Amino acid sequence: KRYIGLPLLLLCACSGTSVKFFDSTLIEGRGQPPRESIRPIVWGGGLPLKSFDPNGAAGWCEVTSLLHARLFTTDTRGRLSNDLAADARTEGDGRTWIIRLRDDGRWHDGAAVTARDVMATWKALAADPKSETRRNLIDVAGVVSVEASGDSVRFNLSRPFPELADILTEMAVLPAHIIGAGPGAIEKRPIGAGPFRLVRQ
């Protein structure tokens, strides 16, 4: 049998757990105790890293899934759980969702994750006609606008949509202070809020 496209990851010991991909991209875990041994593992079904922005046309891959965080995610059993979101509620007739952010969310450069970052992420992907995430949020979920207020984000929908949290598992939250520099800025400074940060590529 032939096995194609199985990247070899290297978990090594420098300053915590790190992962080295077949294309020499190295990402390092935060807050992990140093390891004394090096343990190679095989990661099957690898997708090539085409972009550091999983909200764009390239979508998610193994690298971006470790670099970036979302408002909500799913666990290994497929159950919805909070990621950057602390809690969520609907108002009125169900066309408004208020999502409060955790207060311990941090970007890899140390800056706090804020509601402004979520709003900036929404504006960037809403302006990208090639984004599948944009299509699902606007056409499927009916999101018409996103507002930041204190530690909360307000999603305004054209109609009630109880599954909004599930759709939001597709949206990586990106740092406003990076993507505010314009299209392609996240490719030059691929900063996220996920459990791993980029060390070198």
Please write the tens of the pLDDT for every residue from 22-76.
555 666 665 444 444 444 444 445 677 889 999 999 999 888 988 999 999 988 7
Q: Could you tell me the strand order of the sheet in which 39-42 lies? A: 39-42, 8-12, 18-20, 26-29, 196-200
What is the rounded CA–CA span in Å between residue 96 and residue 34?
44
Tens of pLDDT along 123-151?
999 999 999 999 999 999 999 999 999 99
Alpha-carbon gap, residue 186 to 184, rounded angstroms: 6
CA distance 123 to 105: 20
Question: pTM for this one?
Answer: 0.79
Q: Is the dihedral of CA 172, 53, 119, 69 positive or negative?
A: positive
CA 172 to chain CA mean position, Å: 3
Alpha helix (H) residue ranges in the chain:
62-67, 115-126, 132-135, 164-167, 176-179, 185-188
3-state secondary structure of 66: helix
